[in-house]
Structure formats: structure tokens, C-alpha cells
Amino acid sequence: MKAVIQRVKRASVKADGSLTGEIGRGFAILLGVAQGDTEKDAELLADKIFNLRVFTDENDKMNLSLASVGGEALVVSNFTLCADCSHGRRPSFFSAADPKDADVLYEYFKRCMLDKGVSRLECGVFGADMELSLVNDGPVTIILDSRELKK
């Protein structure tokens, strides 16, 4: 499972032209589910993201987590994070999970974030054509892969 986390001042997502999620200060999370990912991957990623210390403290040091600032999360499914661009110019998406399996793990990841205690969780619509708008804070952008976190 892969995630691109952007620290944001605000973010929103529209699916098929309709607003489906909107947050203030927190994380915009693009989530890609790969073949072979399990609930353990979702749990590991949710824990890492929720406790990642990338918000600034009173000394302007990245020392605070989403948990400690009461931050919000906007989660958007994104199978293109599983792209293989090693051959040719057209990405291959064979490593992305089957949509039915990916949707189940996407929903599980969101439950994990809520169980961790995220103050507010909004989301896109799995498999829909979406538009993401955000004001990046920093910018701070982190890329995580659950398989690397297991090492």
C-alpha cells in the first residue's frame, strides 16, 4: 500500500463534479492499493501517518503529529501510485490491486484512521473521476510504502 501525504492548510475533493470531501489543517492522503496488500498494510500505514511528526511546534520545528494538532484527513484513492514506469513511456498498472479488493482495503484504511482518532475524515469516491484542490503547507510532502515500513 502506498500513500502520498501532503500537509495542507485546506483541501477538498470533487467526484464527478460534486464536492465529496473538504478539510482544514491536516493531511491530504493519496492512497494506492497494490496486489498482495492486506489489512496489516492498512493498519501499519494508518499508524505511521497518524503519528508522523511533520507539523511545526512553537519553535518552528517539525515535532508535532496529526494526533497532537487535532488535524483532519482527506483520503483519496489513487491506483496510479502503483504505476510501473520502468519500460517504455506508458505506465503499467498491473501491480495495482483488483478494484474490488482495493476498495475493501481503502475502506479499511479509512476505518483505521478513524480508530486512531483523527478529528475529521473526509474522502473521495473510490474509482470515480476526481478533482483534488489543496493549499499545501510548507510544502511538506511524504511518500510512504507499507512494504518498506515492514523492513
Query: pLDDT digits over 79-118, tens only?
Result: 999 999 999 999 999 999 999 999 999 999 999 999 999 9
All domains of the chain, ordered by start, with CATH? 2-149 (3.50.80.10)
Return the residue matching grid coordinates 494508518.
46
pLDDT at residue 150 greater than cutoff 90? no
Sign of CA dihedral 98, 50, 26, 52: negative
Question: How far is the C-alpha of 150 from the C-alpha of 22, rounded, in Å?
Answer: 31
Secondary structure tally for the chain: helices H, strands E: 4, 8
